Structure 1
Amino acid sequence: MGGDIEKQNTVSISLLLSDNTNVYETFLMQFLSELLIKGPNAPFYKSMIEPNFSGGFTPSTGLDHQPRDCVLTIGLQGVKKEDFDKVAVLFDETINSVVENGFDPEHIESVLHSYELSIKHEEKNFGLNLLFGLTPIWNHTDKIMLALQLHHLIEKLKTELKNNSNYLQDMVKQYFSENNHRLILTMSPDKDFETKLEKAEKQLIKKKTKGLSDKDKKDIYDKCLRLQKQQQDPGNTDLLPTLTMNHISSSVECVDKVQVTLNNIPTQINKVQSNGIVYFKGVLHTNELSLEEQMLLPLFCYVIGKLGTNRLNYREFDSLINRKTAGLRFNNHIAESLYHLHTYEPGIVIATHCLEKNVESMWDIWSQLFNITELIDVERFQMLVQLYTANLTHGIADAGHIYAMQAAASLVSGTSYQVELISGLHHIAYMRRLLHTSNYKAMLDEILNIGRIVFDRKKIRVALNISSENQSDVLHTYENFILKLPEAKSNIPSDTDGSTYVTGKIFAPSDAVNCQHHIINIPVNYCSKAILTAPYTHTDYPKLSILARLLTSKYLHPELREKQGAYGGGARLTGDGVFSFYSYRDPRNVETLDIFDKSHKWLEEQFDKITDQDILEAKLGVFQTVDAPIPPSAKGCEEFHKKVDARY
């Protein structure tokens, strides 16, 4: 699934930096790391990414402050062996250039702004993220309160910058240029790796068993039998702490929301405690696009905010975005119908948030994007396409079960088939074929054409999460913004009539068992089986959700994880009514599919042994996701995405 093997090399340069018990010093290293790496205005992005000789930064790039000795890593993936030395030279040249010339003031402002915004923005797992962030320093010192006082750290940095215009350059010189604690690590693929690994494992087994007597072998066999018996015994779990249904509130939090039409654009206003932030989300429906254009939508979402506008080049536009907002997000949107199988709304979700003082700048940024009339930087586009394609394959080893479930679901659900086309293994294969054509000018023209079609005021609906105190001011600027949106000539009716749902095509006949086998160069398997059941509003849907949790905990996890050695396994029910079995990092495959198939038999044989406590735990597992905390930025958004009437 990857690129040419001669480019499947990785090189990383790591520097030993601060002691994480020095709170300000570690904060400063984090700040410098983002200045050096983040975005097209960052020095390392300019010197290492834009020349386009690699597949982009490695996932480990950045500051690691988990150990007491903090380490900064700059890594490139998808490079040729002969470019290893080139990377080391570029590293030194970039650092020396920063020491001599410093950073762009607007780039410094954008990183400072991201810190200011992050303080006010509340995430879903705020408490957990806070604890995880404190854990590294908590392991080594008691300066917890100092680490929490981010405002003081920012103010100290601003004071240093004010008192010494060369402060950051001096810090880069001290910690990077004059730092001899450096390690360069390279990694290259071996075509014969699997063969060598298999041979080494056989030799290891032979070595381990060579000196075993018959008595030793019998002892090992007896121990295995005892282990097998112990695995089949669930043990006494009554001693473990557990929730009860009484811990779950029977009341549902109601979001104060209204749905209005402003200048012919459906708008949902969610009144929340936003902490001085304006959250903007929009759905652009795409059912006017051809199949080929729909296949290009993920690429469109990746590149459209990175190519600049009619007024600003991509560097200037990126700087403006990061100084005024939390960044622009574009995502594919396949919202399954709550009422009908194979029916969904195709589209693009656009989103960002900003401080209330920057709301007019945020609208100006979106207005520039919506009114793009030309894209001419083919070289920039080529680099982005190659980065996008390189990144597609890197998640397969970690999320292979997701790809497997999606591929299986696409064989039974028209909705899942559409998702597979634009985000699954089919999409990866499509992008690899497209990349081989090397016709980047034609691709860029197609991206611009997609923009002309979807950036249309008749195709958008909007959700705003704002505080009640500043609602009138925000809505006034919002109305001015939507008046500037283009309106394309189209036969597609506007979103106001609710006709944006389509019925998807089913990939395979519904009366046959259909199979796919994707061969990937990974020594483990990811297995899935999908069965089409009922839509979300069907009375059987909650029962099937509980059944999935019950099968996971009582049958699939013990069989797949505890007995068969897979890293994980279970069953899930998705919103489009697909009941999916899966295994994760599984040493077996055929045996796993047999276990999936025996689920019904297990239920028949064990039904009388299933206790009320088992059912309760399955219900609690379902409520774990249903009853999860919702941050201010996401309140009302589930209804918005699924087009649930505001009265419910």
Structure 2
Amino acid sequence: MLTDRWPPFMNAFTASDYTMYPFSDAEFQRFPESSVGLFDAVFFPCLRELDFWQEGWRLENSDPQDPSSPLVFKGVVFNEMKGAFSDNERLYAQHLQQLLLPDHTYSHTSGGQPLAIPDLTWDQLRHFHQTHYHPSNARFFTYGDLPLEQHLKQIQDEALVRFQRTQPDTHVPKQQPWTTPREAHVSCSPDVMAPDPNKQHTLTVSYLLGDITDVFESFVLSLISSLMISGPNAPFYRTLIEPNIGSDFSSMVGYDGSTRQGCFTVGLQGIAEHDASRVKRIIHDTLDDIIAKGFEEERIEALLHKLEIQIKHQSSSFGLSLASYIASCWNHEGDPIELLRVGENVDLFRRKIAQNPNFLQEKVRHYFKENTHTLTLSMSPDEDYVKKQADSEEVKLRQKIQQLNEDNRKDIYQKGLQLLSEQTKVQDVSCLPALQISDIQPHLTYTHTHISTTAGVPIQYCEQPTNGMVYFRALLNINTLAEELKPYTPLFCSVITKMGCGGLDYKQQAQQMDLYTGGMSVTPQILPDHTHMDTYEQGILLSSSCLERNVSEMFHLWSDIFNSPHFEDSERLRSLVMMSAQELANGVADSGHVMAMTRAARSLSPASQLQETFGGMEQVKFMKRVAESSDLTSVLRKLARVKRHLLNAENMRCAINAAPPKMAAVALQTEGFVGSVAATRKQRKAVRPHITERPLDPSADPSSSLATRKLVSEPSFQACAMKTFYQLPFPVNFVSECVRTVPYTHPDYASLCVLARLMSSKFLHGEIREKGGAYGGGARIGGGGVYSFYSYRDPNSTGTLSAFRRGVDWARSGSFTQQDIDQSKLSVFSQVDAPLAPSEKGLSVFLWGLSDDMRQQHRERLFNVTHTHLVDTANRYLSVGKCVSAAAILGPQNEALSKDPSWICH
């Protein structure tokens, strides 16, 4: 309820040995009042038995209102963890930690093994909270422009003064070191989306390292980890990735400082089982080679440059990032202030290297070669894995049921009815402090930008306090690209900065990027029009950043990528293809709700159709086919064709964010880059016949409107209903229904925004999470006008689709209060008014053509949304028969859907 009651951000992050409760508010004046909710949530939760049944686990009739229906396990966290352990990467990471640190805290699963959760009792939970979630066991972190004394006084008055100091035994002891290395194996479910179905084996070698409270030693080990694995110049990249033994590094690769003692892991996923011994041998041989040769000085300098960039870069979540960075070390009595003195650690590191040229090799020898606390962990798919997990759950369920007598069964039925009644009640939140709509600023803060043109290319300049950084973006539309080449666009974007360019091979290119930039990326962009549902901009976005002193080098690299990218090395391409395909396959289990929404929306608008091609299940399947190709020569030729259409300054506009004193110099460098790529541009005939040019900032003076968006119009597009089911080896579902509505500037769009938040918090949360047991669910609307219902890690499938429809009926009935509306508006404004980093200012107009005047108009419409508007909007756009909707489900075998001809099953 807290995030619906206030605009602030509030959450709970569960680590292996602590829980973090981050809270933030952009308004200093309301911070003291609104932060009261944080202290109540952490130190004074109700923890009623009903809450435990709902959120944890319970035995309940499958139909709570029918005592003859079978008893089943229910509970939000129970289903959440079932979903979490259906993710092979999460499963592997959990086993690795438990096996490497088996003697105490880390041998347990912090979120709970799914079949261990039903052994937890309500009394155990309350006792654990009383013991551990106590101010004596807490650490407080504050960040922001606020008087520290006032904030500390509030912590004292709201929390500390209400407790007596205790001595909770939460100290995590050190792991007893092993005298000999160990090996272990775990099983997982097969991955139907894997790049190569015959290569689904994972193998890593992990080394337990030193105490993370030794800040400098941990700093050095983190640097060594990056030197060994990060980028194509790293030793392990050369020996493990380049030979194409597997699809990618294991997801657990690198240094991990989240536990009392750090660890380093290296290995591969997507290998053949017979290659396991080869991978182990390569790992040991590579360590020998590092000890003998060390690391190149230029690579060390590139890594230290990246650290400098990280220190200077400002993000909108900077305070939260700092808190997360220091949490583990501080939790184990380390010095958080010392941890933040990165510059001092860099200086000490330089002195150590200067004093002893073999400093790093000696560390590698000590921590890796001579380390006997080493775990070799392998994982391979078991065709019966999902069935075995289901059978284990069934055994556990039978054991629980066998312990019941008739009175227990009656009690379960009565408690089920009691919980159902509680879930149906409207919560009384009058005791909570509440903001008023009048507390929200009526006007947004305008961002000043200036547009000029060089060689016909518009350039937007935005002066911001960027802390010595320069941020560059370029958007290039892809209107001339043939339809058969469109699916290759994401792959092109992924590889174009990694294949080499100009006189640099891909290793030299990577080194130059690390030495002179904060990263260079290219991503596909589908930007819906804010006035028409069937109009959109399609393109690619070039993004990079650098220190002010390195602008020239950054643009030189971009010039080489534009003018002379390399598309000759098929083996290099194969490595990148396998990594990309593996990343897409791995992402389905964690982002299944996004995949479901993307799939459902594809038949509702042209922009959504292209989004499915670029980033949905279609792209996952497409990359799997590419990865399975024995010869990538034809792919290289296609990528070269894509390049000729995409990297064309004829269809480019640029944006620069930099500090005012440096903007003039940066502008000269930008104009030089634009001139160098514009000189080689070629005119190409557009493939699509319907191209509309619209000023980037419609509110600007027409005589100064130099930039235009080249929009694709598809007036003949026919939205249609479509239902798709993907059977995947998950024990839970990801469900979505999407509805075609209206674009951003339509007067009803603001009502749809508020309605989505209202339905999520006041109806769908109760139906999908509290009653249905899904980990999450709700409604949202995107800028393209597609209204999406979704659920995440959901034990139900078509039942959730019915809940979506009941939500529409609830909204149409107007069964909500003005207080509900105000809370929903506050929640919407918390997103609208979310802080923007200096690097992000001006992007709304640059990318989407949303001027400050247009955003202000949308803001005013949000203020003016009424009860009547919401009911009318629900009737007009979401009612059956008045809307075009489509659905998608990703989940386990479903015989009902397989037999239903209205569903397209994959």
TM-score category by the smaller chain?
over 0.9
Alpha-carbon distance between aligned partners in 2 of 1:588 and 1:519, rounded to the nearest angstrom? 14
Deviation at 1:242, TM superposition (A): 4.1
Change (3 A) 1:3 1:308: closer
1:184 alignment partner, SS class? strand
Q: Is 1:174 aligned to residue 366 of structure 2?
A: yes
Deviation at 1:646, TM superposition (A): 7.7
Alpha-carbon deviations, 1:373-427, whole Å to 9, x = none?
6521111111111211121110111100000001111121111111111110111
Aligned partner (choices 133, 138, 148) of residue 340 of structure 2: 148
Aligned partner (choices 569, 573, 578) of residue 777 of structure 2: 569
Aligned partners of 1:417 and 1:506 also within 8 Å: no
Alpha-carbon distance between aligned partners in 2 of 1:389 and 1:44, rounded to the nearest angstrom? 20
Q: Is 1:186 aligned to residue 381 of structure 2?
A: no
Alpha-carbon distance between aligned partners in 2 of 1:142 and 1:390, rounded to the nearest angstrom? 37
Alpha-carbon deviations, 1:596-641, whole Å to 9, x = none?
1122222244x2x422221111111111211011001111012100
Alpha-carbon deviations, 1:179-222, whole Å to 9, x = none?
11111111111111222223222222222222422222112222
Alpha-carbon distance between aligned partners in 1 of 2:716 and 2:612, rounded to the nearest angstrom? 12
Q: Is 1:41 aligned to residue 233 of structure 2?
A: yes
Q: Is 1:318 aligned to residue 524 of structure 2?
A: no
Deviation at 1:435, TM superposition (A): 3.3
- The AA in structure 2 aligned to 1:502 is V
Aligned partners of 1:21 and 1:141 also within 8 Å: yes
1:528 aligned partner: 736
Alpha-carbon distance between aligned partners in 2 of 1:387 and 1:245, rounded to the nearest angstrom? 48
The alignment yields a C-alpha RMSD, in angstroms, of: 1.9
Aligned partner (choices 616, 624, 642) of residue 830 of structure 2: 624
Alpha-carbon distance between aligned partners in 1 of 2:800 and 2:495, rounded to the nearest angstrom? 40
1:588 aligned partner: 796
2:831 alignment partner, SS class? helix
| TM-score normalised by L of structure 2 | 0.69
Change (3 A) 1:241 1:499: closer
1:487 aligned partner: 681
Alpha-carbon distance between aligned partners in 1 of 2:707 and 2:341, rounded to the nearest angstrom? 50
Deviation at 1:475, TM superposition (A): 1.3
Alpha-carbon distance between aligned partners in 1 of 2:495 and 2:812, rounded to the nearest angstrom? 52
Change (3 A) 1:108 1:42: same
Report which stretch shifted further, 420-429 or 135-144: 135-144
Alpha-carbon deviations, 1:276-309, whole Å to 9, x = none?
1111000011010011221100000111111101
2:547 aligned partner: 355
Aligned partners of 1:5 and 1:189 also within 8 Å: no
1:439 aligned partner: 631
- The AA in structure 1 aligned to 2:742 is A
- The AA in structure 2 aligned to 1:610 is F
Alpha-carbon distance between aligned partners in 2 of 1:341 and 1:40, rounded to the nearest angstrom? 43
- The AA in structure 1 aligned to 2:711 is Y
Alpha-carbon distance between aligned partners in 2 of 1:614 and 1:79, rounded to the nearest angstrom? 53
Change (3 A) 1:625 1:206: same
2:496 aligned partner: 304
Deviation at 1:142, TM superposition (A): 5.3
Deviation at 1:241, TM superposition (A): 4.1
1:403 aligned partner: 595
Deviation at 1:267, TM superposition (A): 0.5
Alpha-carbon deviations, 1:529-584, whole Å to 9, x = none?
11111110011001100000000001111100001111111000011001110111
- The AA in structure 2 aligned to 1:450 is V
Aligned partners of 1:342 and 1:576 also within 8 Å: no
Q: Is 1:429 aligned to residue 621 of structure 2?
A: yes
Aligned partners of 2:518 and 2:546 also within 8 Å: yes
Aligned partner (choices 260, 276, 284) of residue 476 of structure 2: 284
Aligned partners of 1:257 and 1:646 also within 8 Å: no
- The AA in structure 2 aligned to 1:73 is T
Aligned partner (choices 372, 375, 381) of residue 567 of structure 2: 375
Deviation at 1:171, TM superposition (A): 1.4
Alpha-carbon distance between aligned partners in 2 of 1:214 and 1:474, rounded to the nearest angstrom? 79
- The AA in structure 2 aligned to 1:292 is E
Report which stretch shifted further, 595-604 or 384-393: 595-604
1:226 aligned partner: 418
Q: Is 1:127 aligned to residue 337 of structure 2?
A: no
Deviation at 1:438, TM superposition (A): 2.9
Alpha-carbon distance between aligned partners in 2 of 1:613 and 1:380, rounded to the nearest angstrom? 59
Alpha-carbon distance between aligned partners in 2 of 1:645 and 1:611, rounded to the nearest angstrom? 33
2:723 alignment partner, SS class? coil
2:755 alignment partner, SS class? helix
Deviation at 1:346, TM superposition (A): 0.5
Deviation at 1:243, TM superposition (A): 3.7
Alpha-carbon distance between aligned partners in 1 of 2:798 and 2:852, rounded to the nearest angstrom? 47
Alpha-carbon distance between aligned partners in 1 of 2:751 and 2:852, rounded to the nearest angstrom? 26
Alpha-carbon deviations, 1:431-489, whole Å to 9, x = none?
22333343311111111221122222212100000111011111112222222112113
2:721 aligned partner: 513
Aligned partners of 1:413 and 1:532 also within 8 Å: yes
Report which stretch shifted further, 397-406 or 184-193: 184-193
Aligned partners of 1:9 and 1:80 also within 8 Å: yes
Note the residue ranges of structure 1 that are not aligned, 5 or more in a row. none
Q: Is 1:32 aligned to residue 224 of structure 2?
A: yes
2:603 alignment partner, SS class? coil
Alpha-carbon deviations, 1:282-338, whole Å to 9, x = none?
001101001122110000011111110131111111101110001111110111101
1:518 alignment partner, SS class? strand
Deviation at 1:504, TM superposition (A): 4.5
Change (3 A) 1:374 1:22: closer
2:725 alignment partner, SS class? coil
2:726 alignment partner, SS class? coil
Q: Is 1:107 aligned to residue 299 of structure 2?
A: yes
Alpha-carbon distance between aligned partners in 1 of 2:459 and 2:663, rounded to the nearest angstrom? 13
Aligned partners of 2:530 and 2:784 also within 8 Å: yes
Deviation at 1:106, TM superposition (A): 1.4
1:610 aligned partner: 816
Aligned partner (choices 301, 309, 328) of residue 520 of structure 2: 328
- The AA in structure 1 aligned to 2:437 is M
2:249 alignment partner, SS class? coil
Alpha-carbon distance between aligned partners in 2 of 1:178 and 1:373, rounded to the nearest angstrom? 43
- The AA in structure 1 aligned to 2:306 is S
Alpha-carbon distance between aligned partners in 2 of 1:638 and 1:230, rounded to the nearest angstrom? 43
Alpha-carbon distance between aligned partners in 2 of 1:388 and 1:105, rounded to the nearest angstrom? 30
1:633 aligned partner: 839
Alpha-carbon distance between aligned partners in 2 of 1:203 and 1:497, rounded to the nearest angstrom? 65
Alpha-carbon distance between aligned partners in 1 of 2:616 and 2:516, rounded to the nearest angstrom? 34
Alpha-carbon deviations, 1:1-48, whole Å to 9, x = none?
224443112122211112111111111111111111110001111111
Aligned partner (choices 198, 201, 204) of residue 9 of structure 1: 201
Aligned partners of 1:280 and 1:464 also within 8 Å: yes
1:452 aligned partner: 644
- The AA in structure 2 aligned to 1:182 is T
Query: Share of identical aligned residues, percent?
Result: 35
Change (3 A) 1:377 1:561: same
Q: Is 1:501 aligned to residue 695 of structure 2?
A: no
Aligned partner (choices 562, 575, 581) of residue 389 of structure 1: 581
Change (3 A) 1:19 1:108: same
Aligned partner (choices 533, 537, 562) of residue 341 of structure 1: 533
Q: What is the number of equivalent residue pairs in this alignment?
A: 644
Q: Is 1:559 aligned to residue 767 of structure 2?
A: yes
- The AA in structure 2 aligned to 1:339 is T
Aligned partners of 2:462 and 2:841 also within 8 Å: yes
Aligned partners of 1:255 and 1:636 also within 8 Å: yes
